[in-house]
Amino acid sequence: MAKKKPPTVAKAPKVKLSPRDEKTAERLTGLADRVVSYANNRKDPFVDIPSRTLANVKYSPKKKILEMGNATNRRQLFDLSQAKAYMRTMLVAMGSKRLIDQGKSTSLRGLFYMLKGTIEGTKENTFEEQGECDTIIEDVEVLLSSIREELHLYAENRGAMVGGIVLTDKGDEINCARMGSGGYAIPSIVEPDVIVFDKKRCTAKFILHVEKGTVWQRFNEDRFWEKHNCILTHGAGQPPRGVRRMLHRLHNELELPLYCVLDNDPWGYYIYSVIKQGSINLAFESQRMAIPEAKYLGLRSIDFERCQLSDSVKIALNDTDRKRAKQVARYPWFEKKPKWQTEIKKMLSNDFKLEVESLISKDISYVTEEYVPARLRDQDWLD
């Protein structure tokens, strides 16, 4: 009796890589090639990872952004204290290369499970917790000078936008003026090979970024973006990378001014700082995320008197708030700006903070119909 032939398995079609993916894949391959080269020459494999610390970050007065310095930390395979971290670095690089080759993306959590397992012949796991994997992902980013989105990794979507712009998202046309009450959810990956702006169909004159989704809902429901011809965005508090990258692209590619409506507290100031100058962890990517021309249009320390608010909206500062405010005041990009120093000193003197929602005590639509329009008309913002 003739033996049955095993069923043939169709080969997966070869994925055509974008120029961005080709560049990232080349860097990942180069990392692997160096390991092989070290092994062939009987040398200890190592990687020098740029240090993601405050001491290795500097502010460039010329560019007006945070930049990473040249300090590095060496990670070696044959150093027992570093061997696991070295192995994890290579695992994350391997996982990213696999995703690129397959033309697929996954979440940070997804990569953690892709790479989680027990090392053969031991009781040791590659990763115990997702936080361990996330830290290595950040190391690989700076090692390859690539953001995680280029490694085909994404985080949970946080943030939305609505307004006079039409874009294409992976081939699907999105009219952001026709997105209903929820708006267009800003993806984690918003690079030009994924999101394409239709410049001819962008009617917006500026971007208004608000801190929270609850405030964004008020602006959206009141059709602020339609009345004032703008793009309205939010980042659910501290804006994630996708939102920051989207703001950067809208500002630079469409030449739209950016105004930020944030809370009158140290955390609102910090959010503005991150949008404007960049962050310590992502200092190596400030060129693609920071927006030095952004303007602070949020609540001011004088607004309690200026807007005649009631005592009931005051939120007392705590010790953490005071400490944070003093830290922000010492940032090089705020330190030599008299208006910012006056602003922070006034808040500390008040000994209370104010949320944007406090303006609702005046009227449900006071912030959209009076406060922000007046600030824009009078160019009453902090830079």
Catalytic-residue membership of 113: yes
DSSP one-letter string for 284-345: GGHHHH--TT-EE-S--TTHHHHTT--GGG-EE--HHHHHHHHHHHTSHHHHT-HHHHHHHH
What pLDDT is attached to residue 9? 43
What pLDDT is attached to residue 57? 86
What pLDDT is attached to residue 54? 78
pTM: 0.85
What pLDDT is attached to residue 13? 57
- What span, in angstroms and rounded, lies between the C-alpha atoms of 199 and 275? 23
- What span, in angstroms and rounded, lies between the C-alpha atoms of 171 and 161? 19
What pLDDT is attached to residue 68? 84
What pLDDT is attached to residue 1? 47
- Cβ proximity of 190 and 241 under 8 Å: no
- Cβ proximity of 298 and 334 under 8 Å: no
- Cβ proximity of 381 and 296 under 8 Å: yes
Ramachandran class of 284: left when φ > 0, alpha when ψ lies in -120 to 50, beta otherwise:
alpha
Residue 174 is encoded by which pair of tokens? 């999105």
Q: Which sign does the torsion angle of CA 137, 143, 149, 153 carry?
A: negative
Phi/psi of residue 19, each to 5°? -55, -35
What pLDDT is attached to residue 189? 86
Q: From first to last of the 383 residues of the chain, give the pLDDT tens digit.
A: 445 455 544 455 567 888 888 999 999 999 889 888 988 888 888 888 888 887 888 888 889 988 888 888 888 888 888 888 999 999 999 999 999 999 899 999 999 999 998 888 888 889 999 999 999 998 998 888 888 888 999 877 789 999 999 999 988 999 999 988 889 999 988 988 889 999 899 999 999 999 999 999 999 999 999 999 999 999 988 898 899 999 999 999 999 999 999 999 999 999 999 999 988 777 878 888 899 999 999 999 999 999 999 999 999 999 999 999 999 999 888 988 999 999 999 999 999 999 999 999 999 999 999 999 999 999 999 99
What pLDDT is attached to residue 60? 87
Options 59, 113, 154, 272, the catalytic residue: 113
Q: Where are the alpha helices (DSSP H) in the chain?
A: 19-40, 83-102, 108-115, 130-144, 213-221, 224-227, 241-253, 266-277, 286-289, 303-306, 319-329, 332-335, 338-350, 366, 372-377
